[in-house]
Amino acid sequence: MRGHLRRWFAGLAVLACAAGLLLRLGTPAAVGATTPRFLTDAQGRALILYGLNTDDVPVVAGASRSAAPASPSSSASASASWSSSPSEEYGLLGDDCARILLHWSSVEPTPGRYDDVYLAALVRRIGQYAAVGDHVVLAMTQDAFGPTPGAASVPAAVNSARIHAADEFWHTRDDAPDLQDRYAAAWAHIASYLAAHLPRGAGLLSPADAVVGFDLLDRPWGGSVQGPAFETGALAAFYERVIARVRAVDQDHWLFVEPEAASADTGLPSALPYLPDPRHGVARIGYAPQLYPAPVDPDGNYSGSDAFWTDRLLNSWAIQVTRTAKRLDAPVLVGGWGADFTAPGAHLYVDHVQELLDDLMAGSACCTAAPGPWSPWQKPGKGADIAGVLQTAYPRAIAGTPVEFDYDKGTLVFTLQFRDEAAVIGPTEVYLPPSDFPLGPQIDFDSEYTSTWDPARHILSLTVTRPTPGTVHTLRLTPASPSQNVG
């Protein structure tokens, strides 16, 4: 009962703080675009990525903080002990993306020395995902300096040692070593290594094309400095520093930035300012917030008053994400969301979040691939009940600019509107769950088209016969009956 009241009051506090911060911050400066931006592939198609967070290899035990932060997260070792194959993940969820969590202490075990054996294993892992047509986002974890993946936004043990470590990293302390310079150099080394070792070739997706980009810091936490002062100060300066180092060796990949986790993850406004991209051509900075509303994070549930406050925090979060993405002129890729999927109301929470993400037209990496209550895997090799809810229809790639899309799980109707754009090639691809579309889709489209249906991967590929830039199309898909031809 006491924990229930704490979460109830936490919801009230977050909403009150949101109102106060909105008054303080006002409307975000109109630096960014007036229309949403999207991640794109080599063919110019908009990508709506959907997948899981997954650890790569175990954290090196005993690595010193002066070299790099070792993760104390129990989830890291758990997920490292068993890892589903990309084909198993696809069979369970129909996903098209993996957000692989890297560990700085594994990339750079001692100052200035990089472990290329670790990076070679990463290249092989990327190749496995590429072989089934999945994209990859690489994210660097920072568990020693903040909340662990799938944990509460504020570290459970906020003690002097943790604050001291964070203050060293963010240069809040005058006597701090220059950890940020080494961190930026480590990212530059990762980018250089991948450019030299990721192969290009035939197949569903080449490993070189599979890597969408780099999430520069997972769930930032400012230690003794929090809120707008942290985001507009130390965090923004850090991002500019890392972006510059990576761009010196990599002009192509998207670079994702996250807001302060302790506030933005729960629905509070972010003060993260516009971050310039020094690359040649259009900027490729992405916005990667995470979503962990207080009533369900880390051990609440989506029922009763918790559901009531969670709904309001989700709406606040969506508003703030839209505003910040506009200010940054950045596409949105949600870096993490989830809950205890064994708790009451979990399936309703998943449905609500998926509807919210569809409204935002945002991709996401859900929960964790490590078996357990926050995973679609109940145990190694066995899917949990929630997997059937997480498996949903979505557009993997859109040959133009998305206008809106929606999947109504009650009526099994998928709808997509998109606008033709010049210089975009390739088909629009939609994944349809085999449980809902066992025979594929019945297609209702407003222009001439050709299509193919892949019954093994449950993907519809549709190509507009004569695309005209500016023309908006509507695609409607419903389950086919045995007498219908779907491609």
Asked which of 336, 371, 392 is the last residue of a domain, the reply is 392
Q: Is residue 368 located within the same domain as residue 454?
A: no
Q: Is residue 192 located within the same domain as residue 305?
A: yes
- 175 in a structural domain: yes
Query: What's the one-letter identity of residue 125?
Result: R
Asked which of 392, 420, 436 is the last residue of a domain, the reply is 392
Q: Report the alpha-carbon distance of residue 136 to residue 429 in Å, rounded.
A: 18
- 57 in a structural domain: yes
Q: Is residue 33 located within the same domain as residue 163?
A: yes
Asked which of 343, 361, 392 is the last residue of a domain, the reply is 392
Q: Is residue 57 located within the same domain as residue 187?
A: yes
Pairing of strands 211-215, 135-141: parallel
For the chain, how many structural domains are there in total? Answer: 2
pLDDT at site 33: 55
Rounded (10°) angle between helices 86-93 and 116-131: 40
Q: Is residue 409 located within the same domain as residue 382?
A: no
Q: C-alpha distances in angstroms, 436 versus 123, 388, 407? A: 35, 10, 11
Rounded (10°) angle between helices 160-169 and 179-197: 70
- 150 in a structural domain: yes
Q: Is residue 417 located within the same domain as residue 369?
A: no
Q: Report the alpha-carbon distance of residue 101 to residue 443 in Å, rounded.
A: 38
Tokens describing residue 387: 């997997």
Q: Report the alpha-carbon distance of residue 369 to residue 84 in Å, rounded.
A: 7
Residue 113 DSSP label:
B
Task: Return the CATH number at 449.
Answer: 2.60.40.1180
pLDDT tens, per residue, the chain with 487 residues: 444 444 444 444 444 444 444 434 433 333 455 678 999 999 999 999 999 999 865 333 333 323 333 322 333 333 344 567 899 999 999 999 999 999 998 999 999 999 999 999 999 999 999 999 999 999 998 655 555 544 555 555 557 878 888 888 998 877 667 889 999 999 999 999 999 999 997 778 999 999 999 999 999 999 899 999 999 999 999 999 999 999 999 999 999 999 999 999 999 999 999 999 999 999 999 999 999 999 998 888 999 999 999 999 999 999 999 999 999 999 999 999 999 999 999 999 999 999 999 999 999 999 999 999 999 999 998 999 999 999 999 999 999 999 999 999 999 999 999 999 999 999 999 999 999 999 999 999 999 999 999 999 999 999 999 999 999 999 999 999 876 655 5
pTM, whole model, 2 decimals? 0.88
Q: Collapsing DSSP states into helix, strand and coil, what is residue 223?
A: coil
Q: Is residue 330 located within the same domain as residue 449?
A: no
Q: Is residue 317 located within the same domain as residue 421?
A: no
- 435 in a structural domain: yes
- 487 in a structural domain: no
Tokens describing residue 270: 């972010």
Question: Alpha helix (H) ranges present in 26-138?
Answer: 74-81, 86-93, 104-107, 116-131
Rg (CA), the chain: 22
Q: Which residues contact 41 (CB under 8 A, 6 or more apart)?
A: 47, 209, 397, 426
The strand pairing partners of 428, in sequence order, are 462
Q: Report the alpha-carbon distance of residue 246 to residue 216 in Å, rounded.
A: 10
pLDDT at site 312: 97
Q: Report the alpha-carbon distance of residue 376 to residue 52 in Å, rounded.
A: 9
Select from 49, 56, 10 the least CA-distant residue to 336: 49
pLDDT at site 482: 79
Q: Collapsing DSSP states into helix, strand and coil, what is residue 358?
A: helix
| Region of residue 337 (left: phi > 0; alpha: psi -120 to 50; beta: else) | beta
Q: What is the torsional sign of CA 315, 317, 322, 324?
A: positive
What's the burial of 388, exposed, middle or buried (CB within 10 Å: 0-12/13-18/19+)? middle
- 460 in a structural domain: yes
Select from 332, 409, 400, 398 the least CA-distant residue to 363: 332
| Residue linked to tokens 């790569």 | 56
Q: Is residue 51 located within the same domain as residue 114?
A: yes
Range of the domain at 107: 2-392
pLDDT at site 485: 54
Q: Which residues contact 86 (CB under 8 A, 6 or more apart)?
A: 98, 128, 129, 131, 132, 134
Is residue 357 within 8 Å of residue 317, measured between CB atoms? no
pLDDT at site 203: 75
Q: Report the alpha-carbon distance of residue 57 to residue 412 in Å, rounded.
A: 39
Task: Return the CATH number at 289.
Answer: 3.20.20.80
- 398 in a structural domain: no
Tokens describing residue 205: 């997706």
Select from 42, 71, 45, 85 the least CA-distant residue to 165: 71
Q: C-alpha distances in angstroms, 226 versus 12, 26, 49, 222, 284? A: 20, 18, 31, 5, 27
Q: Report the alpha-carbon distance of residue 286 to residue 212 in Å, rounded.
A: 11
Q: Is residue 267 located within the same domain as residue 335?
A: yes
Q: Is residue 246 located within the same domain as residue 288?
A: yes
Q: Is residue 235 located within the same domain as residue 95?
A: yes
- 485 in a structural domain: no
pLDDT at site 55: 83
Q: C-alpha distances in angstroms, 402 versus 77, 225, 356? A: 39, 39, 16
Select from 415, 288, 397, 292 the least CA-distant residue to 359: 415
Q: Which residues contact 213 (CB under 8 A, 6 or more apart)?
A: 39, 137, 138, 253, 254, 255, 256, 284, 286
Pairing of strands 459-464, 428-431: antiparallel
pLDDT at site 241: 97
The strand pairing partners of 97, in sequence order, are 51, 135
Tokens describing residue 428: 């629009």
Query: What's the one-letter identity of residue 179?
Result: L
